[in-house]
Amino acid sequence: MVRKVKKKKSGMRIFVALLFMAVIAAFVYKIAPDPTVSISLNKLNSPNAILIRLKDHTILLEKNSEAKIYPASLTKIMTAIVAIENLPDIMGEIKLSNSTFRGLYEAGASMAGFQPGERVRAIDLLYGVILPSGAECCIGLANKIAGAEQNFVKIMNQKAADLGMGNTHFENVTGLQNENHYTTVEDLSVLLCYALKNDTFREIFTSSRHCTPPTNKHTEGITFNSTMFEKLTNKNIIGGEILGGKTGYTSAAGLCLASLSKVDNQEYVLVTAGAKGDSHSEQFNITDAIAVYSSIGK
């Protein structure tokens, strides 16, 4: 009987040891670069990058992912998801006041094309935020939901805290340059992975174009085109396709891109920032996305 007990205890120790080793191995696997991503980091134009497998949030590639960056219009991912989660009626109408546009043209902000006094559905403003990167859409949604942009920014920062985005702080809803408006590509990947769980956000994020119904200022409506898909001549990549994305650019932020792809029936999120160039140069943020996604499994 004594021998049996000893054997049972010995077997239990072995089981516990094996279980501990399995847990450690699983943890290491989750954070280690996947060897099936064949691209070399020094070949990327972007100084900051992170690639995530969406189903389990496994990090497959990272390059200075925790370094401070300016997000430019990638900010609007947070603006959109916070608006979606706080709108009382996504199909409700919002009037864009004169104050909505104050300072935007002077700051060189991207605009969707709406006009002061225009009455627009909230859903159309959301498309305007993501596809043409419309600053007036961001302000219009913020004013409707929180009464003022800075009140809405407080909600954005609280959402960032809730998501564990510890290296992020927002100062505005548009991504206009501000020294105290910063994040990391790692934090942005957390945000995008979260936002893509929302069906409305995913539908907008993966759309290449959107046509609004007629309004009091545009009798034939407005057609929006995605700033990413406009510059992506072929969304097909080796083994899959790029499903959606949001571009960003300021002179301080460089060329940025947060995108979603499907490769060999798996979805991936890639966030890059800081690539050299501008809206008139080669789009190195998109070039990097094509190169990274095409290297998966190769």
Told to judge if 40 belongs to the known catalytic residues of this protein, a careful annotator would answer: no
For residue 30, the tally of other CB atoms under 10 A from its CB is 12
3-class secondary structure, 2: helix
Helical segments of the chain, H only: 2-31, 75-86, 122-130, 135-146, 149-162, 185-195, 199-205, 227-231, 284-295
Q: Which of 46, 65, 76, 144 is catalytic?
A: 76
The 10s digit of each residue's pLDDT in 4-23 is 434 444 555 655 455 555 44
Told to judge if 279 belongs to the known catalytic residues of this protein, a careful annotator would answer: no
Per-residue DSSP letter, 168: -
pLDDT for 273 beyond 90: yes
Give DSSP secondary structure letters for 7-36.
HHHHHHHHHHHHHHHHHHHHHHHHHSPPTT
CATH number of 33-295: 3.40.710.10
Told to judge if 133 belongs to the known catalytic residues of this protein, a careful annotator would answer: yes
Q: Which of 13, 69, 110 is nearest to 258 (CA)?
A: 69
The reply, when asked if residue 246 is annotated as ligand binding, is: yes
Q: Which of 46, 110, 133, 259 is catalytic?
A: 133
- The Cα–Cα gap between 60 and 73 comes to 25
The 10s digit of each residue's pLDDT in 177-236 is 999 999 999 999 999 999 999 999 999 999 999 999 999 999 999 999 999 999 998 888
Distance of CA 258 to the CA centre of its chain: 5
Domain ranges across the chain: 1-32, 33-295
